[in-house]
Every structure is written in structure tokens, then in C-alpha cells.
């Protein structure tokens, strides 16, 4: 009996040592690492003996590396962050575990999240490959000084797309552009009014939609803006884009709510008080960005439970999402956080507008849009067709009919 007891105690000691030596690797892109740095000690306190090995890269480098890791079946961290723009690629190419299945059973948490964010991490065949942590409700940032100069109110500007374009014509008279790029307006239009059960680029049955009326209308609006010289023809994330924000040569920008944090902290901090936030013209409801956490297939079986605990820690807990909102302006995917007093706080950068209330209202009303394996291919083909329309004067119907055919050939249902 003593010998058996000794063996049992030795076994428990061995298990304890093994637990103490457990290291979970986490792959992040900036600035998610800043948030994890702030909450890491809490996770470790709740899981004694565990250490986190955080590997951080820039946005593009992180995702490029992750694509390689998942394609080759080795090298991936145990838990990975994924931006919404890459979700479709991993749906198409695989490599991430289905969190709806055992032992995760993630579907029990679906009602905790805003509807559309949950849908973005779900495949058309019902697999949940990632859980949302932050979201990008679509809004329009605008310069208050240009509104005052032209005599417009923001309510009138956003009441319709036609009014938005007319505002651009009045801005042109004072040598100010309506928007950096007409393409961003088209992007907003294709992301909104998506039929229920559909994706942005494919219908519920997987048929491409690139020559549907939604895409044709988006291209027509963008072409009007470009042909009338109402956009600055500046690409996003360029030095010219940042300079336009600093100097006020553009009056509006359609984007995710996250742009306000970038404007305040590094793009144009000197413009504090000159900006406001509004709904998208025509009160279009759409998503523009967001981050997720997933678990690669190659994560060792002995680490799955702990990996899942970290994913849940970073996604389903209101206190952790609110901390991310405070530290890196990552807008929470959990509606339960929207009652927090910080959502009523006036934002000094936006002339004391309590804009978080706007962001929350938009987030709760965006309809769910499914993710399809061919989304990245379709997006690439759409962007190319739109460029030909805007820069080369190609006929819209012709360009989108060809785009439709290209997607049909390259994407199998």
C-alpha cells in the first residue's frame, strides 16, 4: 500500500511539474501585443504554472508567416490572431480547428457576440474557425470646419448618397476633396445591403455576385465621384493619405470606427477637435475590419485545453475586451460591454462627441454576412475591375461581367 501511495504521489508530482513547465505560444500582430502585455499576468494568475511565449510581427508579416505555417503544417503558434481580411483565406485553405466541435463547443457562446462578427468567423458549412475579439463598425469621419464653411449640416450630408456627392461638389469649389479615394466609397456600398444568408461576393448557394445591381451601383457612384474630380485619388495607408488628414485637403473618410484612434494617436493628432463621426451616407450598415483568435490544427493535443482557455479569455470576457478598448482602442465584439460608462464619455478628439454610442448602435444592427472560400479571389478581381473603371474609363457593365466570369472560372462551388 505504501508503495502504491508513493507511486501515486510521484505521479501527481510529475503532473504538477509538467504543468509548471507548460508554455503556450501566441502569434499576434501589432498592436494586439500591447493589450496582451497588460492582461497576461491575470491569465497566468488564473492558470498557475503556465507561461506565454508571445511572438509579435507587423500586420503583413504576421499573416504572411501564418499562411506559410498553416500551408506547411508546422511552425504555427498554439494560438493565433487573425484579421478579418484573412479569414476567408483560411476558410479556403484550412489549417485552423473547428471551434464548434468537441472539445471546444464554441456555439454555446454565439449569443454573447454581435451577430455579424460571429458570422464572419463561420464558414458556409457551419464551422466556427475563429472567435471575434474586436470589430470595426462602419462609420464616416468628417471635418467639422469644412461643414461650417460650406453651410452644410452632417445630417443633410449623410441623408443620401446623392446629397453626399453634392456636398463633394460644394467642397470642390473651396479646393477640398470629398474623400481620399472613390474606391473606398464603392467598398462601403458593396459591403452594405447584403442579402440575408449571403456573403459580400457570393450568394447563399455560392454563386458570385460581381455583376449584380449592388456592385453595379457601387461602381457607378465611384465613377461619378472620380469623373467629377471629387476624390484626391489617394490610396489608403500611404503618406499622402496621412498628409491629407493632417492638412484637411479631404473632408470625409469612410472607414471602421478604429480610424478615429489612429487619427488621434499618430496620423493627425494636431487636428483634435476638427473631426466628427457619423453614420455612413444613406445610413448604410457595414463592417470594416475586426480581429479574431483561432487555434491551428497543428497545436499539440496536450495544449488544446490551455489554448482554448486563452482564446476564451481574450474573446468572451467583457472585462478583458474593455481593457483592450481602453488600451488600444479595439472596439469590443461583446454587446454586454456597451453599458459601461466609458461609452458615454465625450471624446475630446471628436470635439467632445460621445461617439462610442454611435459605434455601438451601428455594431448591434449590422446584419450577418457569411464568409466563403472564394472571397479573397473575388475581392482581388473586383478591385481590379473597379480600377479599370476608375482609371481607364472602362465600361462598368463590361468590366463587371468579365469580373463575374473570372470568378466563376477560378472559384469552384
Q: How many CB atoms lie within 10 A of CB 215?
A: 24
Domain 136-283+373-410: state its class. alpha beta
User: Residues 6 or more apart from 363 whose CB is under 8 A from it?
Assistant: 114, 135, 137, 331, 335, 338
Question: Which helix or strand (DSSP H or E) is residue 239 part of?
Answer: helix 239-247
Mean pLDDT value across the chain: 91
* Residues 180, 177: Cα–Cα separation, whole Å: 7
Question: Which helix or strand (DSSP H or E) is residue 389 part of?
Answer: helix 375-392
The CATH label, of 2.40.128.120, 1.10.286.10, 3.40.50.300, 3.40.190.10, for the domain at 23-135+289-344 is 3.40.190.10
**278-308 pLDDT tens trace:** 999 999 999 888 999 999 999 999 999 999 9
**8-41 pLDDT tens trace:** 333 333 334 344 589 999 999 988 999 999 999 9
The whole-model pTM stands at 0.86
- pLDDT of 17: 39
User: In a 3-state reduction of DSSP, which class is residue 175?
Assistant: coil
Predicted confidence (pLDDT) at residue 7 exceeds the cutoff of 80: no
Give the sign of the dihedral formed by CA 405, CA 406, CA 407, CA 408: positive
Of the CA atoms within 13 Å of residue 400, those in its CB half-sphere come to 20
Task: Tell me which residue of 317, 376, 403 sits closest to 87, measured CA to CA.
Answer: 376
* Residues 300, 34: Cα–Cα separation, whole Å: 26
Any idea where the domains of the chain sit in the sequence?
23-135+289-344, 136-283+373-410
Percentage with pLDDT > 90 across the chain: 79
* Residues 148, 207: Cα–Cα separation, whole Å: 46
* pLDDT tier, 378 (very low <50, low <70, confident <90, very high otherwise): very high
Q: How many CB atoms lie within 10 A of CB 295?
A: 25
Predicted confidence (pLDDT) at residue 382 exceeds the cutoff of 70: yes
Amino acid at each position: 500500500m505504501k508503495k502504491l501511495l508513493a507511486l501515486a504521489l510521484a505521479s501527481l508530482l510529475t503532473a504538477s511539474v509538467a504543468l509548471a513547465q507548460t508554455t503556450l505560444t501566441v502569434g499576434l500582430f501589432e498592436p494586439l501585443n500591447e493589450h496582451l502585455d497588460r492582461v497576461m499576468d491575470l491569465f497566468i494568475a488564473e492558470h498557475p504554472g503556465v507561461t506565454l511565449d508571445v511572438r509579435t510581427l507587423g500586420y503583413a508579416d504576421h499573416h504572411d508567416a501564418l499562411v506559410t505555417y498553416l500551408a506547411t503544417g508546422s511552425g504555427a503558434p498554439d494560438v493565433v490572431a487573425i484579421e478579418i481580411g484573412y479569414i476567408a483565406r483560411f476558410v479556403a485553405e484550412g489549417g485552423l480547428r473547428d471551434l464548434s466541435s468537441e472539445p471546444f463547443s464554441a456555439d454555446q457562446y454565439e449569443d454573447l457576440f454581435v451577430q455579424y462578427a460571429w458570422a464572419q468567423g463561420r464558414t458556409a458549412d457551419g464551422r466556427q474557425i475563429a472567435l471575434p475579439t474586436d470589430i470595426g463598425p462602419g462609420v464616416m469621419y468628417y471635418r467639422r470646419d469644412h461643414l461650417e464653411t460650406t453651410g452644410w449640416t452632417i445630417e443633410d450630408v449623410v441623408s443620401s448618397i446623392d446629397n453626399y456627392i453634392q456636398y463633394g461638389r460644394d467642397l470642390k469649389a473651396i479646393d477640398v476633396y470629398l474623400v481620399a479615394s472613390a474606391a473606398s466609397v464603392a467598398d462601403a456600398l458593396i459591403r452594405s445591403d447584403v442579402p440575408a444568408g449571403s456573403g459580400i461576393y457570393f450568394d447563399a448557394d455560392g454563386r458570385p455576385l460581381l455583376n449584380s445591381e449592388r456592385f453595379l451601383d457601387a461602381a457607378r457612384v465611384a465613377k461619378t465621384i472620380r469623373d467629377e474630380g471629387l476624390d484626391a485619388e489617394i490610396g489608403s495607408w500611404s503618406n499622402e493619405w496621412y498628409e491629407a488628414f493632417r492638412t484637411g485637403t479631404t473632408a470625409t473618410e469612410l472607414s471602421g470606427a478604429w480610424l478615429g484612434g489612429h487619427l488621434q494617436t499618430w496620423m493627425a493628432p494636431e487636428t483634435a477637435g476638427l473631426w466628427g463621426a457619423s453614420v455612413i451616407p444613406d445610413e448604410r450598415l457595414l463592417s470594416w475590419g475586426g480581429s479574431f483568435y483561432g487555434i491551428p490544427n497543428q497545436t499539440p493535443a496536450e495544449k488544446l485545453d490551455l489554448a482554448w482557455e486563452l482564446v476564451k479569455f481574450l474573446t468572451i470576457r467583457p472585462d478583458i475586451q474593455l481593457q483592450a478598448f481602453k488600451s488600444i482602442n479595439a472596439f469590443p465584439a461583446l454587446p454586454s460591454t456597451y453599458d459601461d460608462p466609458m461609452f458615454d464619455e465625450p471624446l475630446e478628439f471628436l470635439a467632445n462627441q460621445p461617439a462610442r454610442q454611435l459605434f455601438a448602435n451601428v455594431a448591434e444592427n449590422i446584419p450577418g454576412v457569411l464568409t466563403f472560400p472564394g472571397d479573397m479571389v473575388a475581392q482581388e478581381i473586383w478591385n481590379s475591375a473597379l480600377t479599370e473603371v476608375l482609371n481607364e474609363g472602362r465600361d462598368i457593365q463590361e468590366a463587371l461581367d468579365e469580373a463575374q466570369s473570372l470568378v466563376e472560372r477560378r472559384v469552384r462551388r
